[in-house]
Structure formats: C-alpha cells, structure tokens
Amino acid sequence: MILPFAQRAGVLAGLALLAFTSVNARHGIPSVAAQQFTARAELVEVYATVTDGEGRFVTDVARGEFTVLEDGVAQQVTTFADGEQPVSIALAVDRSFSMATGQLEAAKRGGRELLLELGDQDRAMLVAIGSEVDVPVPLTNDRRAVDIALQALDPWGSTALHDAVVTAFDAIEPAPGRRALVIVSDGLERGSRRSASDVLARVRASDVLAYPVVLQGKVPEVLAQLAVTTGGQAYRVKRLADLPGVLRRIAVELRHQYLLGYQPLRPVVSGQYRRIEVRVARQKHHVRARAGYLAR
C-alpha cells in the first residue's frame, strides 16, 4: 500500500524521532521528547480558591500575588489561569433509608440547583449511595439526563459512604481539567467495605476536589479531612431549605478558581507525599487549596 505524502512524512518523522531517542539513550543523553514528557509528568497543578474577610470569592488576584510552597520551599509558578473554566462534577447523593424523612427530597432539589448553575462546557455525573454504590448517569454535558435520574432516586439500603467516595473518585478522575466530587448525605456511614484510612489514602493520590455536604448532623471526621486534603470545603446544613444555596455556592466556586502549576525544584520520588501551601499577598484574604500530593 502506498501512503499519501503527508502520511508518509508523518511516519518517517516518527521513525526518525524513535531512532534519535534510541541513539541518545545508548549514549546516556535524554532526548528532547523524553525531557518534555518528564516535565509534563512532574507538573503539579493546584486549584486555589481565594475569599475575602467576609467570605466572598475574589476573582482579580494576579499571578504575582500568589506564592506556592512545597514542603516549605517556594516554587516557581509556570502555569497560571483564572476566570471561568470548565469543570466536571460527580454529584453523589445519599439515597439510604436514613434519608427518607425529607432529606432525600431536599437533596434532589439542591442537586437540581447545582446542575442549573453549571455552564454549557461543564459536565456532570450522578453517583447514588445506598448499600451498594451505583452510577446511574456517567459523565455527560446533558444536565437534563442527570437531573431526570436524580429525581427518580428513591430510598434504598444503608449508607456505604466510604465506598461511594472511592467509587466517585475512580469515576471522575480520568476526566480532563478541573474535577470535583460533591457529596450530599446525612453523614451516617454504614456497611462500607473500605475504611476511613482507605478513603484518605485514595484521595491523597488524586487532585480531585471534594465538597461534602452533611444534612442536619455533625460532619464526620473522615469527610472533614477529605475536604481539607483536597482543597474543597465541608458544609453542615442545619436547615434543609438552605441546601440549594450551599450547592449553588459550590458550583460558583468551582468555576472561579485559580489554576497554579509548577515543576518541583526537588526531584520527584515515587510514593513520597509532599505538602503544599498557597499564599496570597493581600491582607484579610484566605486561600484554600489541596494540602499536598502523592508523587508518582
């Protein structure tokens, strides 16, 4: 078979690059392609939320006002983005029998408000939490399909909350760009195969943000740690009527975060956990970002 010129040129270029890489490797010289791959693999991305003294989102912070520290050492920020950016959200709703006394209906109303707040470029998926964890609607930009499945949920089973977090992270993590898990539950863990330590180990190895929303109860320690570790936020909603407003606020926050990227100054060691701190040069302003990352 004779390939068109453009295809032949592409194949030859690919073979030449492969040969160049092989020759360099034999002489211990890393190729440009290898260097670029390593740089991409080592790029650490951090999403940061900035609020003022009254808790309002701040969207006019310049790149030079941020400082990113890894294990206490300032890093050079090489990637920066602000303004509205697409987001992929896993909406995990507790449908267990303990949510049957009006809480599930409130979660449905609140979830609809979150979906309505998303933009055309945003995507969502639905995770149903019961004795087993189900994904009725995979990640899609068809928010109506997600809402239809959400409104169809009825009470069933116990609350495998730990399993739900791991399942949701596994499902949303492959999506490109900014990803988040929003959990709506009464926070009563029952019947998970995974422990709290399993959950925290899983989320430390990911850069997905997590927003646990607990209805009318105390936020469990594992969910509070989940939020801090990922750079999200945990909410305790005392009045069910307040839930839609909380979920709308989460959606707005996710669209107005800052993306900060850097290449670690120290060589990356696989399996090593490194702490991250993000600061902003403004008085009475607060920055929330993930606590660290697990090097791969």
Rg (CA), the chain: 22
pLDDT of residue 83: 77
CA-to-CA separations, 253 to 51, 161, 235, 238, 258, in angstroms, rounded: 10, 24, 14, 21, 10
Extract the tokens encoding 283: 């008085």
Q: Are 291 and 115 in contact (CB under 8 A)?
A: no
CATH of 40-83+257-294, one of 2.60.40, 3.40.630, 3.30.450, 3.40.190: 2.60.40
Q: What is the 3-state secondary structure (H, E, C) of 208-241?
A: CEEEEEEECCCCCHHHHHHHHHHCCCCEEECCHH
Q: Which CATH architecture has domain 87-255?
A: 3-Layer(aba) Sandwich (3.40)
Q: How confident is the model at residue 255 (pLDDT cuts 50, 70, 90)?
A: confident
Side chain identity at 179, as an amino acid letter? R
pLDDT of residue 38: 30
| Cα(146)–Cα(148) distance, integer angstroms | 6
| Cα(280)–Cα(286) distance, integer angstroms | 8
Residues paired with 70 in a beta bridge: 73, 276
Residues sharing a CB contact under 8 Å with residue 6, sequence separation 6 or more, in sequence order: none
Query: What are the domain boundaries of the chain?
Result: 1-32, 40-83+257-294, 87-255
Q: Are 250 and 114 in contact (CB under 8 A)?
A: yes
pLDDT of residue 95: 96
Its sign, for the CA torsion 155, 169, 209, 252, is: negative
**Phi, then psi, of 49 in degrees rounded to 5:** -110, 130
Comparing 25-29, 74-78, 89-93, the range with the smallest average pLDDT is: 25-29
pTM of the predicted structure, to 2 decimals: 0.84
Side chain identity at 15, as an amino acid letter? L
Which tens digits make up the pLDDT trace of 100-119? 889 999 999 999 999 999 99
**Phi, then psi, of 230 in degrees rounded to 5:** -95, -15
**Phi, then psi, of 110 in degrees rounded to 5:** -65, -40
| Cα(196)–Cα(166) distance, integer angstroms | 10
Comparing 29-43, 86-100, 225-239, the range with the smallest average pLDDT is: 29-43
Q: How confident is the model at residue 8 (pLDDT cuts 50, 70, 90)?
A: very low
pLDDT of residue 22: 38
Residues paired with 50 in a beta bridge: 287
Q: Are 178 and 87 in contact (CB under 8 A)?
A: yes
Q: How confident is the model at residue 9 (pLDDT cuts 50, 70, 90)?
A: very low
Same fold, 40-83+257-294 and 87-255: no
Q: How confident is the model at residue 296 (pLDDT cuts 50, 70, 90)?
A: confident
| Cα(122)–Cα(126) distance, integer angstroms | 14
- DSSP-assigned letter for residue 207: -
Distance of CA 224 to the CA centre of its chain: 15
* Average pLDDT of the residues in 55-62: 94
Q: Are 210 and 89 in contact (CB under 8 A)?
A: no
Residue 23 reports pLDDT greater than 60: no
The H-or-E segment that residue 105 falls in is helix 103-117
Which tens digits make up the pLDDT trace of 169-228? 999 999 988 999 999 999 999 989 999 999 999 999 899 999 999 998 889 999 999 999
